[in-house]
Chain A
């Protein structure tokens, strides 16, 4: 409980004694490139293959002749949009972005760079962490949207190339019974997950004490805690929104 309290106190310090807005804007843009743009390739690869595997495995399970083949595409679409794109993508990003944030801040802490900011009269938590949090909340939905598109495309390629479904049936299936609200839900999840990943990882890194070993431990702890937080939040959001 003490750790949870300290985490919320840490969140509070992000919004006090802020610096000039133009400094935050520059930092925010830098973090969008570092967090968002650099994650495009890994998200693209993971989501394409997840869509492909989902299609093949769904087709493997749907063996009843009374169920239309286009159902495979419908299932892939809803799985990708509701769960695989937002949750799996963000778990991958927890590993990539979360470890990067924790490692960077932990290293800054042990090399006294954070202390250097503090003695200049700068709120180091706000200056270092707030742009990362905002950048994660801004770029993660874009990455998830891209992941959803590529996941469905991956399913199309895998299904049609392996012959389990025709292109016509696949396109029919992804259009059948489409609920636009699911896309809204898909976009809400990465905003929440991005906030959790950035703040938890930043908290772990910011309060690192020791040397290189402790930085590694902070990085690992950031990833595991972020993943658990994502899964808990996933359940809570599903209960609230669906």
Chain B
């Protein structure tokens, strides 16, 4: 479990996060949703340590991230898998090399064990046989799946996905959601997904946190989100005509 306590972050005069606290549960898909500019990505970066918050703390199964020394933070980071919005694949390496990269840098397996693990992960995300392709030769959806394979190759305890469906067509987006769901259930990881896609909320939202103007305005699940009395949340959820029609 990841516990976020009173995260505050400002950039100059811009107060982006104004005291966010939440618990992100193990074995569940925890979604952080909100409109553009509400601080979702900044919150994610504070949680994974890319941006140091002005105040607050993040606990990984009781271990304080910002209270740890460099070695402690590095140890926690090595239990993370992160899927960035654009995939963040290394352009100069093949798909196979990209997925194998964490094993080369951090693991101590033999060459054949690494190869087997990479092939297993690529097969798991439905990309068997694509190992020799370069990132420039594959589609956006395939890049996201390669990035997921890279994120899970070290058997992480925590999986973070920054807008995994951005730039993808609806069908591919659903496949990515399903993959995240399956990995969460299979490996019992603590999964955190940043998204503004209501399809993802409906498909995989076990625990949903709604941010509005830097504050946590609502927390619940994919069922209760349809029946809340928070006006700002309803404006966000039912901005989609289809959902509006369904409610009516």
Q: How far is the CA of A127 from the CA of B102 in the complex (A)?
A: 13
Chain B 39-54: CB-based contact to A (< 8 A → 1; otherwise 0): 0000000001110000
What secondary structure prevails in chain B residues at the interface with A?
Answer: mixed
Inter-subunit contact B80/A23 (CB<8 Å): no
Query: Which A88-133 residues have C-beta < 8 A from chain B?
Result: 107, 111-113, 115-116, 118-122, 127
- How close is B98's CB to chain A, nearest CB, in angstroms? 10
Cβ-based interface call for A6 (8 A): no
In the complex, whether B106 has a CB less than 8 A from a CB of chain A is: yes
Query: What residues of A have a CB within 8 angstroms of the CB of B104 in the complex?
Result: 23
Complex CA–CA separation, A121 to B48 (angstroms): 11
C-alpha gap A97/B216 in the complex (Å): 48
Complex CA–CA separation, A23 to B77 (angstroms)? 20
Q: Which listed residue, B75, B80, B90, B106, touches A113 by the CB 8 Å rule?
A: B90
Please judge, given known A-B contacts A17-B70, A23-B104, whether A120 and B77 are in contact too, CB under 8 Å: yes
Q: Which of B73, B75, B80, B82 has the most CB of A within 10 A?
A: B82
CA distance A122 to B49 in the complex (A): 13
How many A-B contacts are there with CB distance less than 8 Å? 52
Is the C-beta of B84 less than 8 angstroms from some C-beta in chain A? yes
A115 touches B84 (CB 8 A): yes
Contact indicator B82/A116 (Cβ below 8 Å)? yes
Q: Does B244 contact A (CB under 8 A)?
A: no
Interface string of A182-200 (1 = CB under 8 A from B): 0000000000000000000
A111 to B162, CA, bound (A): 13
Within 8 Å of chain A (Cβ to Cβ): is B78?
A: yes
Q: Does B21 contact A (CB under 8 A)?
A: no
Chain B nearest CB from A16 CB (Å) reads 8
Whether B74 sits at the interface, judged by CB under 8 Å, is: yes
Contacts A115-B88, A116-B84, A116-B88; A121 near B50 (Cβ below 8 A): no
Closest B-chain residue to A123, C-beta based?
B74
Partner of A112, one of B75, B84, B102: B84
Sort chain A's interface into a size bin: 10 to 19
The verdict on B85 contacting chain A, using a C-beta distance below 8 Å, is yes
> CB within 8 A of B77: which of A111, A112, A119, A127?
A119
Q: Are B106 and A120 in contact (CB under 8 A)?
A: yes
CB atoms of B74 and A121 under 8 A apart: yes
A122 contact set on B, CB distance < 8 A = 105-106
- Which of chain B's residues have a CB closer than 8 A to the CB of A17? 70, 74
**B105–A112 CB distance below 8 A:** no
Distance from A25 Cβ to chain B, minimum over Cβ atoms (Å): 13
- Chain B residues closer than 8 Å to A176, beta-carbon distance: none
With both beta carbons as reference points, the residue of chain A lying nearest to B73 in the complex is identified as A121
Q: How far is the CA of A65 from the CA of B69 in the complex (A)?
A: 76
Q: A112-B88, A119-B49, A120-B102 are in contact. List 20 more A-B contacts (CB 8 A).
A: A17-B70, A20-B105, A111-B91, A113-B88, A113-B91, A115-B50, A115-B82, A115-B84, A115-B88, A118-B50, A119-B48, A119-B77, A119-B80, A120-B77, A120-B78, A121-B74, A121-B78, A121-B106, A122-B105, A127-B105
A-B contact pairs, 6 of them (CB 8 A): A23-B105, A115-B84, A119-B49, A119-B77, A119-B80, A120-B77
Interface residues of B (CB under 8 A from A): 48-50, 70, 73-75, 77-78, 80, 82, 84-86, 88-91, 101-102, 104-106, 160
Nearest 6 A/B pairs, CB to CB: A121-B77, A116-B88, A112-B88, A121-B74, A121-B78, A112-B84
